[in-house]
Amino acid sequence: MHETRASRTPSSPRSSTRRPRLTARTADRHELYQIAVQDPETDLAFLEKAFRRWRKRAPYHFREDFCGTALLSATWAAKGELHTAEGFDLDGATLAWGRAHNLRPMLGDAASRVQLHQRDVRAKGRRPADLRVAQNFSYMVFKERAELLEYFRAAHRDLARDGVFALDHYGGLEATEELTETRRCPGFTYVWEQAKYLPGTGEYVCHIGFKFRDGSAIKRAFTYPWRYWHLTELQDLLHEAGFDDVHLYFEQGDEDDQGNGEFLLDPEGRTSRNCAGIVTYLIAVK
């Protein structure tokens, strides 16, 4: 296994809560994913701040593409009565899990402000979003340039007149290396595997797995057959799709080059210091 001095990668720490003892038999892969990978409050705080910076107003209607369990949409709708959300994902079982575990337990009528669609992200929403997001590099599922452009065009078209489209990018020196990284989470170990990267085609296959203290494991609980897209390619495609400006925010690191969750506006990426793993937000404005 590759030894990495990984800093900011998809295996960087997110939120943590105390968990009971888990095993491969008792654990729920969606729950483990949310604990290990997602931090909706932090993400939404950044996204809302960036929206206000460029649009000088608050966003209310939110769209989460590739929403999976819709944790972000649920967290958005919980903010208040004016906050509404639409989530799009092709996987009915994952959406059902999200309805049961993230929407149903919501207080008051907050769940009624979230609409989940089992549809392709290129489909039109009920109404144009103020803030539309594609998190955790999910757009890498589009392997042809024409497909990704079609998605970005659809995002541009179905966005409020002064809307913002936000997506994240994973880069840095180790992003395209074949490697496996592990990280301790409460009650389990998260495993991020960059299993395959072919520089000639960009083919990029990654897996997420989980290991438990009793020695059991859920190997390759999630598999992502992706194409690796470079940050500059994404910027070009977003402009081509009609976005007026694309603003880059690079995650900052601590002294050990671990990502600290703080994203700074940095058009040239000078603050990234070209380190091992770098997460960048692209904030595309209409």
Q: Residue 223 or residue 274: which is nearer to ligand SAM going by CB?
A: 223
State the binding string over 134-153 for ligand SAM (x if CB under 6 A, else -): -xx-x--x------------
**Smaller CB separation from ligand SAM, 88 or 263:** 88
Residues 41-80 that bind ligand SAM (CB under 6 A): 66-68
Contacts of 192 (CB under 8 A, 6+ apart): 9, 10, 11, 180, 181, 182, 183, 206, 207, 208
147: which residues sit within 8 A by CB, 6+ positions away?
Answer: none
129-134 and 203-211 strand pairing: unpaired
- Rounded to 5 degrees, φ, ψ at 191 are -120, 120
Question: Which C-beta is closer to ligand SAM: that of 75 or that of 136?
Answer: 136
Among residues 89, 158, 181, 193, the one that binds ligand SAM under rule CB under 6 A: 89
By the rule CB under 6 A, 90 interacts with ligand SAM: yes
Residue type, 202: G
Query: Contact at 8 Å (CB) between 31 and 210?
Result: no
Residues 17-46 within binding reach of ligand SAM (CB under 6 A):
37-38
> Which of 120, 240, 244, 245 is close enough to bind ligand SAM by CB under 6 A?
120
Cβ nearer to ligand SAM, comparing 121 with 155: 121
CA angle, corner 247, sides to 44 and 197, nearest 5?
A: 85
**Judged by CB under 6 A, does residue 166 bind ligand SAM?**
no
11 touches ligand SAM by CB under 6 A: no
CB of 56 to ligand SAM, least distance (A): 27
- Report CA 203 to chain centroid distance, whole Å: 19
Rounded CA gap, 87 and 119, in Å?
9
Core vs surface per residue 109-126: b (16+ CB within 10 A) or e: ebbebbbbbeeebbeebe
Instruction: For ligand SAM, give the closer residue by CB, 21 or 100.
Output: 100
Q: Is 114 in the site for ligand SAM (CB under 6 A)?
A: no
| Residue 240 in contact with ligand SAM, rule: CB under 6 A | no
Residue written as token pair 């639409």: 86
Nearer to ligand SAM, 16 or 274 (CB): 16
Question: Any contact of residue 88 with ligand SAM (CB under 6 A)?
Answer: yes
d(CA 173, CA 161): 37
In Å, what is the CA distance from 75 to each residue of 36, 79, 199?
17, 7, 38
Interface stretch with ligand SAM, choices 15-23, 77-85, 88-96, 195-203 (CB under 6 A): 88-96
CA distance 48 to 281: 13
- Out of 121, 155, 175, 206, the only residue in the binding site for ligand SAM (CB under 6 A) is 121
Using rule CB under 6 A, residue 167 touches ligand SAM: no
Least separation in angstroms between CB 74 and ligand SAM: 12
Q: By the criterion CB under 6 A, which residues form the site for ligand SAM?
A: 37-38, 66-68, 88-91, 94, 120-121, 135-136, 138, 141
